[in-house]
A and B are shown apart, each in its own frame.
Chain A
């Protein structure tokens, strides 16, 4: 790869999701030099895996396309994919960041012509679809993936598939000898925006995510709606591929819970409300949705979305933290708990359960200089002692997309202030 130029007036942005992209682009469009580091093969992050956004029910790829266009047009941003920040030392205005570059096995020559994808035979779990379907060993992660270049699964290297990919490429883009590299970069400020991961549902043992086929997570449900997703856009029960008639959405699955995530993950209420509209749109009167909740946190002006869903006769709400889920007949499951409005016990049969699992921070330990404060929930607070390391988006708190973009813009300004000061000192 070509040389990466960075100085103590450069802003390092870790994470290429909506927050990292926003921080990087906003800073770059203020004229600052930015290095944007993304661990995976494509930018876009979690939002690239969503079907629609609440409350507008618009498509995340729409905004992502604009961000990509800004990225393509701006020479101030240097994007590194397959790259991970493994260590940061130093102080505000003068950090050294270690970046591990994993091999993609396909270089910049790639034209995305697709011949390698046709040539390989091996298939692996598709990360973009949370393993709900398979992808080829040589692949483009999803429709809007950027950089628009293939990736060769490392497991295919050293096998016949690797050789097939190489033989199929007319542009000398497949490089099976690519090695892991490490870069040491001098930067002035860091925006940390590595986002979130879904809380592992299997840890919530009473809900039996690992025992029942028809207990799935909200992020998996989201993938089902994608016309190019694992079910071709159809809402179906994993056990038998049949359209469900009676779905339960369980809120705070792993959030607001001392045994799991103590924090409220903010997005899950609106996400489930949004998902009931998918059900209404696709299955109409043929399917009921029941939302089991503690509080519906449809905050500020988007409360009208909640009001709209409440008017849907096919959606009902039960104020209850579901106690457990047990096996029912025909792949159905039974939810046990107490409806706290009236204090009635229930044992409700559902044919599909969507767990509104929360956001777990991905802020790592052991990467930041001593003194950097990561709070007990794993988020980076805005602290003096953090120097010029600024959390952004879901590295700063559980945020929705709109607030994450807002927060990332604020984080970009904080980083700009540091490098502006460096520039002033250096004349």
Chain B
């Protein structure tokens, strides 16, 4: 790489030239920013303005570009140059639009703009041009764990996209739960009634597919590596192992039916009380003929389906969620009885949940076939008169009543067949370190009863996908169902959240895309969203590292392992580029090519610091680029204003905030520091899961620094904000200005 040559380009359009001294901005870029080429243009985003910059890149060797004008979120199509580092001095949304246009404000507005020019020039000096590590090849090969309908779908869809697949199934055959069913609920035209499961056709397709290798009676005994280069050991029951390299993983390990023996009050233990899978077995055995009851082989003439059995309930041992599929499953099973046995089939429900078009049609089909639906709360099932008596409260007639039945089907729920919570071991480590014996005992108990690992990931942060809720491996995001905390590994089907077979197929197809995308991204060194396409990746200076392990523990994505000496081992493919490791590092040896302790540190130092008696405080704001920074842009566009003392630096995630920035800011005379991150905690909004939370913890320790400097605690404030806080964030900034007015200027101005 040739030497760094900075070009700074000042736009005087959008009123900038009317309200600011553009010549001064140009001089600031030259004199303070040490930019090699500085030009101004009245309409920089025009073809002519862009050409001005491109010419400097092509002919004058400019490889570091500073755009002085609008926000980095605006005019991105125009200001997109190849093979150069680019930054913005945001003097439109960040200065012009948030300051009143009045002569008495002209001086402070100009100061703000000059500072942003200095900051951008300081930042760009320390920015490199990321190129990806080249640590992975394109591996068009997936591992799919689980041979049920979700896993088989993933395998078939991957093969159709030209990928090879290793399909690992624990049992001796493919098909999973749906394979054990007589028929299934249709995926379209619900009025047609139950349809063939399609499992036999899928199994045949897989067996005929040269792209798919099936491993029956097998489990994954070891998974090492990263997207693009996962090395997987597949162990068979017989003890032999296979080693394969895959690019990404789909985990479709399904569900276990809830253990109905925990429902004795609903007749569990009686041979004629079965769960839905038990009923499927009876239907399958009947093979289209009359369904017979298990106790005596009598053709069943009346059946009660008890919905929400042990579900949607706070009782200990029950599932307090809805399993999503059981209403349509019971309707389907009731239809078998109507057609094969001409039996009375009564569905006792609280809310009948058959959403969407196909779902509602299927419900209607059940009604047309004479299935009885009754809103009722079942209180007990017991043997009576050679059959069963179901006691329930009829919610329509508002009375306690009972019905007799030959057979009772309990619609019990789905329990995720996921691996152990990977964080238990880390939490135990922390509890031991903190000598919290009570917590140690709790965690040890949890670890003891945890299910066996499914993926056996050789990750510093545990062996499996993290759980979200109730043991399911779901994404926490509404908009991003395939968000994963282990990049390149995607949960699909009911292991992710309770769902029916139709959804499992859709889910598995989507998960397959994400797995393929992970392979393609890894090969190019690109990050997954939210920093899609980012080629930068973290590296560390080994000579400075003290092996403190904070980076390996705090990474929200489990991207960093440790070698035998305790040094971090980065895995670019797993990394999401949030910079939480960089923020964690007490000796500041971690950096990205274009984002580092220096790129931010130099910006905050570049601000011109007026003396203590100037009555011009300086407030440093570190704003999350995902939510706080766009909110500030929108506040500006809406005409909200804030004080001219504020200097804002976007950060990738508040988790990337290194406390040295705060210390440096306080030492160099800033009067206040504000950190703006996303919502933390269980209902987090942080796009990097834990970044905001970790930043809040770090900042809670900044008090010591403030004390040692003899500064007031109010000078450093950390907030959880959202992208919708368009009015609130300017208020936060002004509140800090008022606070400083009250407590006075910092004495640390030099």
Contacts and interface: CB of A to CB of B under 8 A. Distances in A.
A73 interface: yes
Given A56-B478, A266-B355, A295-B352, A111 B320 contact: no
Given A70-B529, A304-B320, A381 B77 contact: no
Contacts of A112: 74, 637
Contacts of B470: 301
Contacts of A322: none
Contacts of A301: 321-322, 469-470, 472, 474, 497-498
Nearest to A30: B517
A348 interface: no
Contacts of B70: 111
B46 A109 contact: yes
B727 interface: yes
B360 A299 contact: no
B88 interface: no
Given A63-B480, A340-B375, A420-B161, A300 B497 contact: yes
A424 to B, nearest CB: 7
Contact of B160 (A65, A401, A417): A417
Nearest to A75: B80
Interface residues of B, number: 89
A384 B499 CA distance: 25
Given A73-B533, A112-B74, 6 more contacts: A62-B724, A299-B324, A300-B498, A343-B397, A377-B357, A409-B513
B351 A295 contact: yes
Given A69-B530, A111-B14, A295-B353, A300 B360 contact: no
A62 B637 contact: no
B685 A62 contact: yes
Nearest to B476: A56
Contacts of A53: 478-479
B683 A56 contact: yes
B499 A413 contact: no
Given A30-B513, A67-B479, A143-B637, A264 B520 contact: no
Given A26-B513, A381-B188, A401-B478, A262 B361 contact: yes
A46 B474 CA distance: 24
Interface of B: 13-15, 43, 45-46, 70, 73-77, 157, 160-162, 187-189, 312, 314, 320-324, 351-361, 364, 375, 395-398, 469-470, 472, 474, 476-482, 497-499, 503, 506-507, 509-510, 512-514, 516-517, 520-521, 528-530, 532-533, 626-627, 630, 634, 637-638, 679, 683, 685, 687, 722-724, 726-727
A65 B638 contact: no
A412 B482 CA distance: 14
A227 B638 CA distance: 12
B479 A18 contact: yes
A160 interface: no
Which of B398, B532, B637 counts the most A-chain CB atoms under 10 A from its CB?
B532
B513 A410 contact: yes
B40 to A, nearest CB: 16
A66 B479 contact: yes
By size class, the interface of chain A is 35 or more
Interface string A39-77: 000000000000001001011111111110110111000
A112 B358 CA distance: 45
A407 B510 contact: yes
A399 B355 CA distance: 9
Given A62-B722, A66-B479, A171 B13 contact: yes
Nearest to A26: B513
A252 to B, nearest CB: 10
Nearest to B523: A31
Tell me if A's interface is mostly helix, strand, loop or mixed.
loop
Contacts of B74: 111-112, 148
B685 A58 contact: yes
Interface in A72-112: 72-74, 108-109, 111-112
* The 9 residue pairs across chains A and B that have the minimum distance between CB atoms: A63-B479, A409-B510, A410-B509, A263-B357, A300-B324, A303-B322, A413-B513, A342-B398, A266-B355
Interface string A217-228: 000000000011
Interface in A233-270: 256, 262-264, 266
B480 A113 contact: no
Contact of A113 (B15, B320, B507, B514): B15
Contacts of B15: 113
A402 B475 CA distance: 10
Given A72-B76, A111-B75, A410-B510, A144 B478 contact: no
A60 B397 CA distance: 43
A134 interface: no
A405 B723 contact: no
B189 A375 contact: yes
Contacts of A412: 513
Contact of B323 (A170, A300, A307, A381): A300
Contacts of B510: 406-410, 413
A128 interface: no
Nearest to A413: B513
Contacts of B359: 264
B351 A296 contact: yes
B14 A62 contact: no
18 contacts: A59-B723, A62-B722, A66-B529, A69-B73, A70-B530, A70-B532, A73-B532, A144-B634, A227-B726, A263-B360, A264-B357, A300-B324, A381-B188, A382-B188, A397-B356, A403-B503, A405-B481, A412-B513
A18 B358 CA distance: 22
A26 B356 contact: no
Contacts of A263: 356-357, 360-361
Interface in A378-427: 379, 381-383, 397-399, 401-403, 405-410, 412-414, 416-417, 420, 424
A321 interface: no
Nearest to A303: B322
A399 B359 CA distance: 11
Contact of A402 (B157, B481, B727): B481
A65 B726 contact: no
Contacts of B472: 301
Nearest to B351: A295
A30 B520 contact: yes
A126 interface: no
